[in-house]
Chains A and B, each alone.
Chain A
Amino acid sequence: MTASTAGTPPERSLARTGGKLRAWFSKPANVILLLFCIALIVLTLYPLFSMLSEMFLVHSPERSMVRKMGLKVGDFTTVHFDKLLFTLDDGIGGDFTTSNSWINFYQPLLNTLLVSVSASAIAILFGGVVAFLITRTNISCKKFISGVFVFPYIMPSWTLATFWQTFFKNTQIGLGTSNGIMASVFGVYMPEWFVYGPFPIALVLGLHYAPFAYILIGGILRNMDANLEEAATILKTGRSRIIRKITLPIVKPAMLSTLLLVFASSMSAYSVPVFLGNPVRYYTLSTKMKSMMDTYPGQAYIMVAVMIIFGVGILLINQKVTNSRKQFTTVTGKSGQVSLIDLNAGKRIIAAVLVIILLMVAVVPLVTFALESVIIKAGDYSLSNMTLDFWLGKGLTYLDQGDDTGILLSAKVWKALGYSLLLAVSCALIAGTCGVLIGYGVARRRGSRLANWVNNLSFFPYLMPSLAFGAIYLSMSSKLSVPLGLGVLILAGSIKYMPFATRSGVSAMLQLSGEIEEAAVITGVSWWKRMLRVIFPIQKSSFLSGYLLPMVSCMRELSLFVLLVPTSNTILTTMLMQYSEKGWAQFGNAINLLIIVVVLLINFVVNKLTGASIDKGVGG
C-alpha cells in the first residue's frame, strides 16, 4: 500500500469511522435497536413528557381554583404541587389526617402500595407454585389446570371483583341492601374486611395477574435445560436444595418481570378498587386520580407521575438484575428431558384443591354472569323471573334497559365485536412482532447502552396508567389533526401492550444460547431465515404468548380506549362500560360473557391451528 492510497490522517480516520459504521449497520440487531429507539422516543417519550408537563399547567376545570390568583388556562403554575403534596393544614379544621394532601394523596398512596405489594406477592406465589407443579411434578389434571388458570386474566379484571361482591355481599355490610349467594343460600354473613377493602382488592388483583407469573415463570421452567437439574440429581443433591440453588435463581428474572408487571398493573388498576373499595370509602391513587382528572387534572397528573416513578424504580431494579452476572442461558442446543417430581398420593389431593380454587375463580363467575344475564329483577332467581330476551329478544320496550334487542340479534353488538377483534388482532401482530424484534436486538447487544435504552423505552408505556395514556394520545391526535378511529386505537393499543411482548421476547431471547444462531450464520443462512426457521420455532411458545397477551389485553381493555373510541358503541368493552354504568346489568353480563367466550374461542382456534395457546408457555 502506498502513502497516496492510504490517504491523510483525517481521511484514514474517516475511512475507519465509515468502516466501523458499515460494520455496525451490518448487524441486524443494531439496525433493529436504532429504528426502535427512534420510534419509541416519538411514541413513548413524547407522550410521557407531554403528560408530565400537564402538572405545571392550568386546565379548564381548574379555573375556579386559580381565579383569585389571576391565572388563566395554559399558564404555568406550581399550585397543583402545593395543593396535593404540601397542604397538610388547609385551615378548615381537623388534624393532618383530614387535610387535603393526606386525603387525596398520602392515604391513597399508602393504600395503593399495600394492595400492589400484596397483589404482587399473591400473583407470584400462586402463579409460580402452580407453574412449578405443572412443569416439574406429576400432578393430575394438568391440562385442565393449565387451560383454566389463564381464565381470570382473560376475563376483564372487574368481572372477578363484581363476582366477589355479588357472591359475598350481605345486608350487614357495604350498601347493606341485599344478600349475595353466600348469605342467601348458605346463611353465612362474611365480615366487611373480607368483602370490601384492601384484602379482597389485593386478592382479586393477585388472582387476576397470577397468569402473568404462571406464563412467565412456567415458560422458563418448561424450556430450561434439564442438564443442570440432572447433574445436581446425579450428585445426590436434595430436591429442596436443587430448587433453592438451581431452579429459583433461573426463574428469578421471570419472577422479577412478573413483579414489575403485576406491581405496575396493580398500581394503575382502576375497576377493582372502585368495586371493592369505594363502598367502604377505601381509595387508591388510581381511583383518586380518575375522580380528580375531571376537576383537578393538574393534581391527577402528579399522581400519574408518582405511579410512574414507582414503576421506574422497579424497572431499574429489574434491569440491574437482568444485567448482572446471575443471568442464565436456559435453552441450549442440547436440552434433555426433565424428570418429574413424584407427588405420590398428593398428586390427586393437590390437583383437587387446585381444581376447586380454579372452579371458584374461573368457572363459577361465568355461570354467575350467565345467570345474571337472564333474570329480570335482581336477586330473584325463580324461573318465572328468567328470560332469554337479553340474548335473543326483539322489541323489548318493557325492559327499559337502554336497548330493545337481545345482544345476539343486535347489529351494533356484532359490529362492535368485529371492531374489537380487528383491533385486538392488529395490536397483537404489531406489538408481538415488535416484541420479538426488540427481544432479539436486546439479547444480541445485551449490556450495550442502546439495548438498555430500547428495553426500557419499550416498557415505559406500561408504567403509564391506561386512562392517562389514552388522554395523551387523544391530545396528540388532536394536535396532529388525526381523526379518532381504528388507526389511533391500534397505535395506542400496540404501544401500550408492547411491554408484554417485549418482556416475553427479551426473556425468550436471553434464554437462547448465541451458539444456535452462530451455527446458522456459519452455514450462510440469511437473517430472515435464521429468525423464521431457527429462532422463532425454538421459542415459539414464549413468542406466541407475546402475541396472545396483547390480543387478550386489547379484547378486554377499557380505560385505554374509552377516550379514543369515536363512539361508545365502537368496541365491545366501551359498550359494556356504558351498560354497566347505567346499571343495565343483564345486557352488561351478556356482553361480558360474550367477550370471554370470544377470547376463549380464539385461544382454542389458535391452539388448533398452531398448537400454541396462552397457557402453552407452560405446557401440561
Chain B
Amino acid sequence: MSKAAAVPPSPLSRLWHKWRFHLNILLVLIPLGFMPKYFHDASLFRGDSGLGEHEIGEIAVGPWTLQLAELRDDAPRADGPAGHFKLFNAALCSTCINEVKAVYLRIGKPRSLRAAGVLFSGTPYRMSANLPIPTNTRSDAQIWITIEGWDGSMQQSAIPLAKASPATIAWLQQQGGK
C-alpha cells in the first residue's frame, strides 16, 4: 500500500479511497437482504409453516402412523468431526400418543431395538431427530423408522432415502464425484 501511494496511486488504492464510505451502504444491505430468509426460518422453527420444508407425508408403522418431514430441503449439514447430519421432524397420530414410548430413525435396517438409530425428541406433535449421513451412503439406501411401544412391542417401516430427502441424494452424488 505504502509503495502504491508513493507517487502514482495504484488503481486499488484509488478504488479504496473513492469507495471506502460506500462500505456503509454495503454493510446495511446485508441484513436487509437476509431479512426474508430470517422470517422464513423463524416461521419454520415456530411451526407456522408446517413440520418442515419438505413434507414426506404419512407413514404407517405397524398399527401406528407418523407424519415425517425434512426440516430443510437442502443438503446435509456438516458438524465438524462428527460428520454430516440431516434434521427430520415427525408428528405422531393423535390416537397413538399414549401408546408410543419412543421413535427412532436410522439409515439401513436396525439389527435390534438397541441399535434402532437416533431418538426423536420433542413433543408428540413435533419432534426432531438429527440423522447422521455418512458420505458413503448408497443412493438406494432406505431410512428405517422404528417405534417402540410402552408395552414393549416394536414396529418398523422403511422408506427410500430418495423419497425422504432428494436433496441428500443429490449431495451424495456430488460426494461420490470427488
Q: Do A and B come from one complex?
A: no
| Chain A interface residues toward B at CB < 8 A | none
